[in-house]
Amino acid sequence: MDRVKTFLSALGRDWMMLVGLLLLLTVVFMAATAGLFFPDPPDTMMGPPLQWPGTYTGAPLGTDGLGRNILAGLFYGARISLLVGFASVIVALVFGILVGAFAGYYGGWIDNLLMRTTELFQTIPQFMLAIVVVAVLGPSIEVIILSLAIVSWPAIARLVRGEFMVLREKAYVQGCIVVGMSDMRIIFTQILPNAMSGVTVMATIMIATAILMESALSFLGFGDPNVMSWGTMIGMGKNNLRDAWYIMTIPGIALLLTALALNLVGDGLNDYLNPRLRSQRGQ
């Protein structure tokens, strides 16, 4: 309860984090209520094509080249963006934490083997690797989540490894070893909880990156053809860029605000979880 009060107090002092959290909650609300406000699928033709925002009552934000409701696409696209962003980062966190924890705790040949493998993945451009995975396995939400997790876990692994290399030398860890506590218990109950602050901050940034990468994949035609995402909306609007630029601009703004919200939340969490940085800013 005290932690909640402390967090709410910090949130009240950090207006940028508050703005980011409100924007993020808005996107979550859109994703949760898409089916309530728009019972028909987002690819349903709702009116005449290329209706500008505010000119057609059935579609407040206008329609695209096929007469689909852009506002409905935004709501359903929020589902896809959040699903891909959070799911891919969760998978990346599980694998990256395991690799980084074992490498940082044991060191030696285990560290060399795991870190050389991590560096191998980091030498390949992330977006190109994601495209290759999707092209080989086929475009679907599951494959996109897998591809983004594959390109995201090395950063988490290196961060966790660095934290473990520092924390394993602490007195409380040495005391756990002396009393005969098992390695697995030390790793997951003693060291990992103390290393999670940096991981939490990085996760918010990774979610924003994953959302942007999914949109880029969909824009290039590597997205799931059975779902409506913001990247798909932008890609379908590129043919009408001159006479109906709003088709690309509206989902583009949604992407921008979502990525901005996650970055603001990440910065705020960094200040909250890093007492040294928080005290420096308070001076």
How is the chain split into domains, by residue range? Answer: 82-275
Query: What is the per-residue pLDDT for 280?
Result: 47
The tens-digit pLDDT sequence of the chain (283 residues) is: 556 566 566 666 667 888 889 999 999 999 999 999 999 888 888 888 888 898 888 889 988 888 899 999 999 999 999 999 999 999 999 999 999 999 999 988 999 999 999 999 988 889 999 999 999 998 899 999 999 999 999 999 999 999 999 998 888 888 988 888 898 999 998 899 888 888 988 999 999 999 999 999 998 889 888 888 998 889 888 888 888 899 999 999 999 999 999 998 888 887 777 655 444 444 3
The neighbour count for residue 7, using CB atoms within 10 Å, is: 14
**pTM (two decimals):** 0.88
**Alpha helix segments (H runs only) across 168-245:** 171-178, 183-185, 192-219, 230-237
Longest dimension (CA), the chain: 75
Residues 6+ apart with CB under 8 A from 68: 42, 43, 44, 45, 46
Query: What is the per-residue pLDDT for 6?
Result: 61
- Tokens 């030498």, located at residue: 123
Contact 30, 78 (CB under 8 A): yes
CA 127 to chain centre: 15
Query: What is the per-residue pLDDT for 130?
Result: 93
229-235 contact pairs (CB < 8 A, 24+)? 229/77, 229/80, 229/81, 229/84, 230/73, 230/74, 230/77, 230/78, 230/80, 230/81, 230/254, 230/255, 231/255, 232/77, 233/64, 233/70, 233/73, 233/74, 233/77
Residues 6+ apart with CB under 8 A from 108: none
CATH class of this structure's domain 82-275: mainly alpha
| Structure-token pair, residue 51 | 């209706």
Q: How far apart are CA 37 and CA 77, in angstroms?
A: 14
Q: How far apart are CA 209 and CA 223, in angstroms?
A: 16
Query: Rg of the Cα trace of the chain?
Result: 22
DSSP, res 141: H
